[in-house]
């Protein structure tokens, strides 16, 4: 039966990179005899300009009714001063919430080809293979907030963090299950030396570990984890953490393999899942046709794997990306003398040729 993929390009480089990923999905579908129908929808600043809202109801409805969502990126300086509730970023936050996407899987694997591109020494990053399991619809991102109020004669603003036991259990369970089919180690990251939410997080994860005696569990404070990612990133298998810490740690972890432009993610819930690169709309390079499309293409591979259960097709895309890199193609974020300079289109073509 035909599968419906909703594509949400969004803003900035979002359009360029989703176009690449759709081309790769189409070629892969042809090769593996899959019937995929693509439907495009607006979100972000682009949707705000057209409809006065960053997340039209129609986009949410279509996403819910699809077999998988491929998301580009939203945001840009143009919308930095719109009312907070109408910012482009509300589109991705709203989609995560309305689809119930409680878990964001952000894998970071440093291939031998890219070891020398890391800002860290080759010896430090060689062999890195970790996944960040980030809680995605709770914590300080979704707590009450106040943009501005008067308090003791001064203006102030506040954001509240809260986590419930079921919320922590649900994400920790997924982290343990993920570790079980990987290298059987979970590092839970919190700030329980200071925050009440983190103390509840640590208690809950520790208790749940009784059900996963085959998986090793340790705990790190988030500040130490940030340092450990730079000192010895190979110590990690599955990192399980809350929404804000996961956001920050995953950009840090992304560069272990050279560029944030390479990193995919899967946001999963009970029903429809959404797949997106971890980077943003990259306003500094938008429109130039030079963005690295690999993070989005690998997100499309994750869509095939997790939503459509088409493992061979997913593997074919991953292998084609590896092969294009091994054959020397490099977008500017990774380019060095002696390699083949590729813009977005050329990189996409190199990958298409290798499907």
Segment interacting with ligand IPM (CB under 6 A) among 9-17, 89-97, 185-193, 334-342: 89-97
- The pair of structure tokens assigned to 353 is 């040729």
- 286 makes contact with ligand IPM (CB under 6 A): no
Query: Judged by CB under 6 A, which of 133, 172, 255, 285 binds ligand NAD?
Result: 285
Distance of closest approach, residue 18 Cβ to ligand NAD, in angstroms: 11
- The pair of structure tokens assigned to 186 is 């979970």
Closest CA to 14 of 295, 280, 274: 280
| 141 is a catalytic site residue | yes
Residue recorded with tokens 């506040």: 158
CA distance 144 to 146: 7
| Residues contacting 39, CB < 8 A, separation 6+ | 4, 5, 6, 7, 62, 66
Which of the choices ligand IPM, ligand NAD, Mn ion, none does residue 302 contact, using the CB cut-off of 5 to 8 A by kind?
Answer: none
- 278 makes contact with ligand IPM (CB under 6 A): yes
Distance of closest approach, residue 221 Cβ to ligand IPM, in angstroms: 21
- 295 makes contact with ligand NAD (CB under 6 A): yes
Query: Judged by CB under 6 A, which of 9, 76, 107, 257 binds ligand NAD?
Result: 76
Give, as ranges, the residues between 88 and 107 that touch ligand NAD (CB under 6 A). Answer: 89, 92
Query: Judged by CB under 6 A, which of 11, 89, 135, 161 binds ligand IPM?
Result: 89
- 92 makes contact with ligand IPM (CB under 6 A): yes
| 247 is a catalytic site residue | yes
Segment interacting with ligand IPM (CB under 6 A) among 20-28, 49-57, 87-95, 224-232: 87-95
| 159 is a catalytic site residue | no
Choosing from 49, 159, 251, 322, the catalytic residue is 251
Choosing from 42, 190, 237, 247, the catalytic residue is 247
Q: How many residues bind ligand IPM (CB under 6 A)?
A: 7
Q: How many residues bind ligand NAD (CB under 6 A)?
A: 22
Q: Which is nearer to ligand IPM, 138 or 280 (CB)?
A: 280
In the 8-state DSSP scheme, what is residue 79? G
- 261 makes contact with ligand NAD (CB under 6 A): yes
Segment interacting with ligand IPM (CB under 6 A) among 18-26, 86-94, 114-122, 125-133: 86-94
CA angle 270, 104, 170 (to 5 degrees): 55
CA distances for 221 relative to 202, 239, 311, angstroms: 10, 12, 36
269 - beta bridge partners?
Answer: none
- 20 makes contact with ligand NAD (CB under 6 A): no
Segment interacting with ligand IPM (CB under 6 A) among 8-16, 30-38, 39-47, 88-96: 88-96
Distance of closest approach, residue 127 Cβ to Mn ion, in angstroms: 25
Q: Which is nearer to ligand NAD, 76 or 237 (CB)?
A: 76
| Residues contacting 304, CB < 8 A, separation 6+ | 25, 28, 310, 311, 313, 314, 317
* Active site residues per annotation: 141, 191, 223, 247, 251
Binding site for ligand NAD (CB under 6 A): 13, 17, 73-76, 89, 92, 260-261, 276, 279-285, 291-292, 295, 333
């Amino acid at each position: 039966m035909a599968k419906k993929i909703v594509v949400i390009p969004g803003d900035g480089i979002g359009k360029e990179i989703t176009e690449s990923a759709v081309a790769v999905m189409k070629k892969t579908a042809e090769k593996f005899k899959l019937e995929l129908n693509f439907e495009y929808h607006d979100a972000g600043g682009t949707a705000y300009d057209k409809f006065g809202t960053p997340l039209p109801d129609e986009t949410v409805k279509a996403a819910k009714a699809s077999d998988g969502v491929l998301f580009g990126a939203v945001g840009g300086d143009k919308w930095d001063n719109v009312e907070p509730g109408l910012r482009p970023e509300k589109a991705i936050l709203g989609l995560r919430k309305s689809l119930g996407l409680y878990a964001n899987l952000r894998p970071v694997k440093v291939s031998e080809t890219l070891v020398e591109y890391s800002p860290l020494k080759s010896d430090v990053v060689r062999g890195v293979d970790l996944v960040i399991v980030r809680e995605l619809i709770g914590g300080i991102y979704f707590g009450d907030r106040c943009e501005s109020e008067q308090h003791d004669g001064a203006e102030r603003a506040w954001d509240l963090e809260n986590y419930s036991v079921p919320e922590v259990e649900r994400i920790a369970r997924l982290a343990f299950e993920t570790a079980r089919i990987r290298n059987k180690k979970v590092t839970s990251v919190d700030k329980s030396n200071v925050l009440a939410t983190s103390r509840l997080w640590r208690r809950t994860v520790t208790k749940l570990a009784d059900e996963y005696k085959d998986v090793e569990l340790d705990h790190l404070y988030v500040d130490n984890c940030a340092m450990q990612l730079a000192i010895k990133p190979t110590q990690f298998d599955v990192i399980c953490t809350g929404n804000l810490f996961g956001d920050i740690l995953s950009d840090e972890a992304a560069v272990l393999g050279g560029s944030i432009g390479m990193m995919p993610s899967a946001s999963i819930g009970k029903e429809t899942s959404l797949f997106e690169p971890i980077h943003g709309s990259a306003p500094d390079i938008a429109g130039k046709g030079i963005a690295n499309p690999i993070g989005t293409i690998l997100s499309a591979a994750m869509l095939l794997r997790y939503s459509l259960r088409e493992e061979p097709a997913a593997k074919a895309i991953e292998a084609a990306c590896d092969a294009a890199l091994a054959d020397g193609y490099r977008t500017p974020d990774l380019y060095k003398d002696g390699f083949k300079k590729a813009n977005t289109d050329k990189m996409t073509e190199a990958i298409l040729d290798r499907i």
